[in-house]
Amino acid sequence: MTDNKETQTRLIHAPRNAPQYIQTIQPPLFRASTIIFKTTTHLFDRHWSDPYDYSYGTHGTPTTYTLGDQLAQLEGGTYCLLAPSGLSAINLVNSTFLSHGDEVWVPDNIYGPNMEHLRNLQQRYGISVKVYDALDVSSFTPSVKAKLLWLEAAGSVTLEFPDLKNLVKKAQQANVLTALDNTWGAGLAFNAFDFSDEHLSVDLTVHALTKYPSGGGDILMGSVISRDQTLHHQLFKMHATQGICVSGDDTAQIIRSLPHMRLRYQQQAQNAQEILTWLKQQPEFMQVLHPADASSPGHCYWKETCLEGQSAGLLSVIFDPKYDLAAIRRFCDGLKLFKLGFSWGGPVSLVMLYDLKPMRVLPNTHLQQGLLVRFCVGLESAQDLIQDIQNALQQIEK
């Protein structure tokens, strides 16, 4: 075969536009680092603040903007930025709005890696990290240096539901920006941009799309949603200058999963409620934590905030303190359907064990003493999952 250089050029420059008349269920996928400008006029006339003035892959493509628009609509916001994980979306908020000498407030049950990131900022940039009790608004006492209040509903691992309305009201009075980790609610359980009689709203939501929007346990992504253009532009500049971006393929997978997210969310929540009823009757557990349960901390706030009793598929149990770590490990190892692993929102049920003592700063008067196990309920049959827990409990007494 001869080396045909013309064929090589033709291969590269062959027309590749999809025919206009074709329609598909899923939108076309754009993978791009380079985006081609039609002319130098297009190159020079674009404006950084116009999201649809495509200029380079890191700033977005029609694929990433399709997902961003869908998520903003889902959560009740206006603008959305995507990040390569939920944690990087959290970090985008922290690095955009916190600077030297500022004060940031976090609930005691904050997602652990957010706290670690903030402690890191505290050491390096003199940012003061203050911890409040998610169930006690009076423990949030912002000083004039306070810039940001983190909220999480329900809280990580122990699932207390905070008094969102009063926390946001107090933050607004003190001119403090509010950011809600909305991963649990997923834009389905409540509207974070309007959850009150007087249209109370957080300023920003962060969502680990890794969980329910992905739904497969196989994709990492995060989002930051806002309504205010000035806040969005501040985030947008940090996002662009840090080179924060996501892959077109991963984005397309999430676009594909979003239409059935509500069905999955509701099924997992229903499974969790069924398991909750059974768990509450078992003598091994001192406390069962799930915001929809009347005895769970913050239940009254869950009731006033969440739509039609909506809750996610997470629940935690605190074991009787007579069971030591070895016993709890035997229980977790004895589970067959629940797999031992971090994260949630996928089809497979997951379990994780925690010792709360090193994870909390404030005294937890509403929590029993004992080791905690969190169940992230998947899409298996609830009865099979109950049987799995029942079988594993037989390992605990050995």
Ligand X SMILES: Cc1ncc(COP(=O)(O)O)c(C=O)c1O
* CA gap 267, 262 in Å, rounded: 9
| Shortest Å distance, C-beta 207 to ligand X | 8
Measuring CA to CA, which residue among 353, 359, 324 is closest to residue 340?
353
Residue facing ligand X at closest CB distance: 86
Q: What is the DSSP letter of 384?
A: H
Among 222, 291, 345, 378, binds ligand X (CB under 6 A): 222
Q: What is the DSSP letter of 308?
A: G
* CA gap 87, 221 in Å, rounded: 9
Measuring CA to CA, which residue among 130, 191, 129 is closest to residue 165?
191
Tell me how many residues contact ligand X (CB under 6 A).
13
For 106, the 3-state DSSP assignment is strand
Residues 247-306 that bind ligand X (CB under 6 A): none
- Using CB under 6 A, which of the segments 82-90, 245-253, 353-361, 370-378 binds ligand X? 82-90
Structure token digits, residue 8: 């090589």
Residues 98-157 that bind ligand X (CB under 6 A): 111, 156
Using the minimum distance from each CB to ligand X, give the nearer residue, 352 or 396: 352
In degrees rounded to 5, what are phi and psi of residue 150?
Answer: -90, 140
| Shortest Å distance, C-beta 343 to ligand X | 5
Using the minimum distance from each CB to ligand X, give the nearer residue, 81 or 386: 81
Asked whether position 210 contacts ligand X by CB under 6 A, the answer is yes
For 259, the 3-state DSSP assignment is helix
Q: Pinpoint the alpha helices (H) of 258-338.
A: 261-279, 299-305, 325-334
- Using CB under 6 A, which of the segments 21-29, 85-93, 97-105, 143-151 binds ligand X? 85-93
Which CA distances in Å does 371 have to 71, 156, 272?
Answer: 36, 15, 20
Using the minimum distance from each CB to ligand X, give the nearer residue, 221 or 328: 221
Using the minimum distance from each CB to ligand X, give the nearer residue, 96 or 396: 96
Using the minimum distance from each CB to ligand X, give the nearer residue, 109 or 271: 109
Q: What does the chain come to in residues?
A: 398
Asked whether position 85 contacts ligand X by CB under 6 A, the answer is yes
| Shortest Å distance, C-beta 277 to ligand X | 25
Among 66, 91, 183, 226, binds ligand X (CB under 6 A): 183
Binding site for ligand X (CB under 6 A): 85-87, 111, 156, 181, 183, 208, 210, 220, 222, 342-343
